[in-house]
Amino acid sequence: MDYLSALLPSAVMAAFFIAVVRVIVRTQGGAAKAKEDAAVDAALARAQSGPQASGAAAPTDA
């Protein structure tokens, strides 16, 4: 019975891992996918546009 007690924790962890992966795969897409994609596209556009010039002068350590 020692082999059973040695294999049981690994089998339980594998089952939970498979369940987590299935949940992640199932939640991809859906009704909120377009909204999430739009938010990511907006963030990428802001990041790629470079630093924005604002009305206030940037502080300098002179």
Specify the pLDDT at position 41. Answer: 93
Specify the pLDDT at position 21. Answer: 95
**Is 58 within a domain?**
no
**Is 50 within a domain?**
no
**Is 28 within a domain?**
yes
Specify the pLDDT at position 61. Answer: 60
**Is 52 within a domain?**
no
pLDDT tens profile 8-56:
999 999 999 999 999 988 888 777 788 888 899 999 999 998 766 555 5
**Is 35 within a domain?**
yes
Q: How many domains does the chain have?
A: 1
Specify the pLDDT at position 42. Answer: 93
HEC sequence for 13-55: HHHHHHHHHHHHHHHCCCCCHHHHHHHHHHHHHHHHCCCCCCC
User: At residue 20, what are phi and psi to the nearest 5 degrees?
Assistant: -65, -45
**Is 61 within a domain?**
no
The boundaries of the domain holding residue 31 are: 2-40
Higher pLDDT, 39 or 3: 39
pLDDT at 7 over 90: no
